[in-house]
Amino acid sequence: MKWIHLATPLDEEAVRPLRAGDAVLFSGALYVARDRAHERLRGMIDNGEGLPFDPRGQVIYFMGPSPAPPGRAIGSAGPTTSYRMDPFTGTMCAAGIKGFIGKGKRSAEARAVMMEGGAVYFSSFGGAGAYLARRIVSSEVLAFAELGPEAVYRIEVVEFPAILINDIYGGDLYENELSKRR
């Protein structure tokens, strides 16, 4: 595999050369949020409140980890299915988010708002939670601790792998692969 190294946060220059199907390795901080956290983050933006982190250029990882056993940075930590976060994607892109990591298909609307916002969507390796945990060196709860696995976390990753599904030019790896068989 040919891997492209990406350091977070991302800027336009990092995103522009990426194409659907590219394999990337992230290093730096990722911000973890799933269903309930997205609902709350959008509420904060709608009410004009500051977010728990500066979203500009950042990458959101759709994930809810298992509890960290003693002595570990995190428990299992693979991606959750992304379409459930589609309704929040427009707000997140408007706030400056440049990338999303999850698994599975996005809606046409979510893909359109990502293209408009110059943001890209990656799938990591769904169900490989133990494998991916080894690429995460630290984790801290940033907000909504009461939501347990649905809290917002900031994690530090080293060479965290993902495949680009949606680039900023409308390319979609899932559709490309299916169309080869038609």
Partner 1 sequence: MAPKRPVSVDLIGRTVSELVGRASFGMPSGVVELYAAMREREKSETARHALGVLVENADIAAADRLPLCQDCGVAIVFCDIGQDVSLEGDHLHDAVDAGVRDAYQRLYLRKSVVGDPLVRKNTGTNTPCFLHTEIVPGDRIGITVYLKGGGSENMSFLKMFRPTATTEDIIDHIEACVIEAGPNPCPPLFLGVGIGGTADVALVNAKRAVLRGIGSRHANPSYADLERRILERLNATGVGPLGFGGASTAAAVYIKEAPTHIATLPVALNLNCHSLRYAEAVL
Distance separating the N- and C-terminal Cα atoms of the chain: 26
Q: Taking the complex as a whole, how short is the minimal distance between the CB of residue 65 and partner 1, in angstroms?
A: 5
Among 12, 116, 140, 177, binds partner 1 (CB under 8 A): 177
Instruction: Return phi, psi of residue 103, to 5°.
Output: -155, 150
Question: Is residue 65 part of the contact set for partner 1 (CB under 8 A)?
Answer: yes
Going by C-alpha positions, the residue among 156, 154, 172 that lies closest to residue 164 is 172
Q: Taking the complex as a whole, how short is the minimal distance between the CB of residue 125 and partner 1, in angstroms?
A: 5
Q: Which of residues 87-126 bind partner 1 (CB under 8 A)?
A: 103-105, 123, 125-126
Q: Which residues bind partner 1 (CB under 8 A)?
A: 1, 21, 23, 36, 63-69, 72, 75-78, 80-81, 83, 103-105, 123, 125-131, 133-134, 147-150, 161, 163, 173-174, 176-178, 180-181
